[in-house]
Amino acid sequence: MGEKQRKLLVLYASQTGNALDAAERIGREAERRGCPASIASTDEFDPSCLPHEESVVFVVSTTGQGDSPDSFKEFWRFLLQRNLGNSWLQGVRFAVFGLGDSGYQKYNFVAKKLDKRLLDLGATTIIEKGLGDDQHPSGYEATLDPWMLSLWSTLYQINPKYFPKGPDVMIPQDELTDQPKYRILYHKQETLEPELMAESDIIERARGMSPGKLSKDKTKPDCFLKMTKNEVLTKAGSTKDVRHFEFQFVSSSIKYEVGDVVELLPSQDCSAIDAFIKRCHLDPESFITVCPRETENNGSCGEVITHVPIKLKTFVELTMDVTSASPRRYFFEVMSFYATDEREKERLQYFASAEGRDDLCNYNQKERKSVLEVLVDFPSVQMPFEWLVQLVPSLKPRAFSISSSPLAHPAQVHLTVSVVSWTRYKRTLKGLCSTWLASLTPEQEINIPVWFRKGSLPAPPQSLPLILVGPGTGCAPFRGFIAERAVQAETSPIAPVMFFFGCRNKDTDFLYRDFWESHAREGGMLSEVKGGGFYTAFSRDQPKKVYVQHKIREMRKKVWDLLCDGAALYVAGSSTKMPCDVMSALEEIVMEETGGSKEMASRWLKALEKAGRYNVEAWS
């Protein structure tokens, strides 16, 4: 008997779904060349089985400041065990593809450390790791396409059994109109109980059925919030619309700490949902359940069938992002199977090809086309609902730093939100969640489903001196920090706090001005007599731009003294350049004060980070 066909294992760790997309694409491309592939999330795969695999492709994303996705944490802990030894993975071949953003300091950090650890454990690389970059005009696919071609040819050289017909022979597309991964069961309405479920049960049911949900994702909201205040913080003449929102808990309240993050599930525009349902010829009133197709053979529909069916329109509203997210490349490929107009078919096939990647990027991502807009542009395409359920990006909760303190604002949650809108190719685009929040009024009594989680800024003990850097909406978590310390100060001594705030113009963009200034006065949390201080940088109020890093340099002596007293640094705000510029300013201070080299200063700050005394929360 000849050697059996080689199989490829693709393991992914995804936070927002991009790594899952890339992993599925690698699996599809392997199978199109005749190599069977299995795909699994790192939290669904037993890492102790790794030594039994022959070839493994890892697709891992890096989030925030070099953090790994939640689904990777246990897997990574397992790999770090000392007792595994340097020959544990002998005989295993691997390739790593990373998804990251070169705007962040720790670019593709997770992919790099995984690659190194696998080598340390005795595994052999198939090809050099691929590093996809969000900043590239074509996104991570600019690196993924050539990386995959190299992967196939190297695997074939290692063992031709991977690709019996060679790495370049593709199975014809029409033979490969893959089955969708899910099927929809439609239920007769008269056989159903009326929907008496609580709101949170409906959300849990819909999102639990959604294939877009990431593994082990929480589908049931922690609780609901109701808006009690919607106040504009910026003044006339500002280029931004920044709001202060206050919410109260509906029924149950959740314990949270300063520095925590809340995730809100936004509502989508009703008319857009109706237009999507009409364009796709769906019945909004029908009741459905969604289940995996694989279970079809054994006559049951897996666990999903136990879910109470849900109205199709409700399912679309709560799980499918039809109005704000751009579809992926595979969406265009599947659309091409269903296009009945020849010109549309050709254009879609071109968009789905490697040659058409840049043109697709210009049409789709650069213009930020929504799923609905793309479907309207190709009227001859009628995709089955199963495919839409699989391929329409899932509606994701949006995360915001909490700007209140449970001590100072009991039973409330405050947020500081910049209402996002921008112009692209003469089209005005708006952020789904921020625009929706800005449109709400306390009178509407709308219950907003939310989830609470730890952010990158741990709540500091009151005995810890603080150096806070929060330009723009980066000040949000620090409003909570300082409000909390003000309450604590009433009964016990408090360590000093320095706060560096920056914005464009003092008169139009100075968020929470009265709050900071009242605490900077004699005896307040930010007063110099208490050992702290409040320092502002208004970048556009003078010919030469002044940013927070300039103010940090100005206050170098005080910053250094506070660091020597054991202070912790907290930095929050835009991820573009600010965190790097702040880090450079701090390096300069360390070099000056210690007389050491840049490398030494960098190591000094890294040690601070390792000790939990340098925390960054940045967003793009």
Domains of the chain, by residue range, sit at 8-175, 223-265+397-453, 268-391, 466-619
Residue type, 358: D
Is 336 known to sit in a ligand binding site?
Answer: no
Give the model confidence (pLDDT) of 440-499 as tens digits. Answer: 999 998 999 999 999 889 999 999 999 999 999 999 999 999 999 999 999 999 999 999
DSSP string computed for 363-407? HTTTTT--HHHHHHH-TT----HHHHHHHSPBPPPEEEEB---TT
Is 16 known to sit in a ligand binding site?
Answer: yes
For residue 407, the model assigns a pLDDT of 96
What is the C-alpha to C-alpha distance for residues 121 and 80, in angstroms, rounded to an integer? 10
* Residue 10, helix vs strand vs coil: strand
Is 472 known to sit in a ligand binding site?
Answer: no
Answer for the pair 390, 180: CB distance below 8 angstroms, yes or no. yes
For residue 122, the model assigns a pLDDT of 96
For residue 593, the model assigns a pLDDT of 94
CATH architecture of 466-619: 3-Layer(aba) Sandwich (3.40)
Is 252 known to sit in a ligand binding site?
Answer: no
* Residue 125, helix vs strand vs coil: strand
Is 248 known to sit in a ligand binding site?
Answer: no
For residue 297, the model assigns a pLDDT of 39
0.85 exceeded by the pTM? yes
Answer for the pair 530, 496: CB distance below 8 angstroms, yes or no. yes
Is 368 known to sit in a ligand binding site?
Answer: yes
Q: Which of 285, 271, 294 is nearest to 211 (CA)?
A: 294
Q: Does domain 8-175 have CATH number 3.40.50.360?
A: yes
Q: What is the helix (H) or strand (E) element at residue 13, kind and residue range?
A: strand 8-13
Is 547 known to sit in a ligand binding site?
Answer: yes
Is 134 known to sit in a ligand binding site?
Answer: yes
Is 585 known to sit in a ligand binding site?
Answer: no
Is 301 known to sit in a ligand binding site?
Answer: no
In terms of Cβ atoms closer than 10 Å to its own Cβ (0-12, 13-18, 19+), residue 156 is middle
Is 306 known to sit in a ligand binding site?
Answer: no
For residue 303, the model assigns a pLDDT of 42
Q: Which of 51, 26, 40 is nearest to 155 (CA)?
A: 26
Answer for the pair 518, 512: CB distance below 8 angstroms, yes or no. no
Is 428 known to sit in a ligand binding site?
Answer: no
For residue 305, the model assigns a pLDDT of 44
What is the C-alpha to C-alpha distance for residues 350 and 21, in angstroms, rounded to an integer? 20
What is the C-alpha to C-alpha distance for residues 71 and 80, in angstroms, rounded to an integer? 16
CATH superfamily of 268-391: NADPH-cytochrome p450 Reductase; Chain A, domain 3 (1.20.990.10)
Which CATH number is associated with domain 223-265+397-453?
Answer: 2.40.30.10
What is the C-alpha to C-alpha distance for residues 307 and 305, in angstroms, rounded to an integer? 5
422-460 burial code (b ≥16 CB/10 A, e <16): eeeeeeebebbbbbbbbebeeeeeeebbbbbeebbbebb
Say if 223-265+397-453 and 466-619 have the same CATH topology.
no
- C-beta neighbour count of 612 within 10 angstroms: 10
What is the C-alpha to C-alpha distance for residues 92 and 58, in angstroms, rounded to an integer? 13
Is 432 known to sit in a ligand binding site?
Answer: yes
Is 548 known to sit in a ligand binding site?
Answer: yes
Residues of the chain with pLDDT under 70: 1-5, 172-178, 190-196, 212-217, 294-307
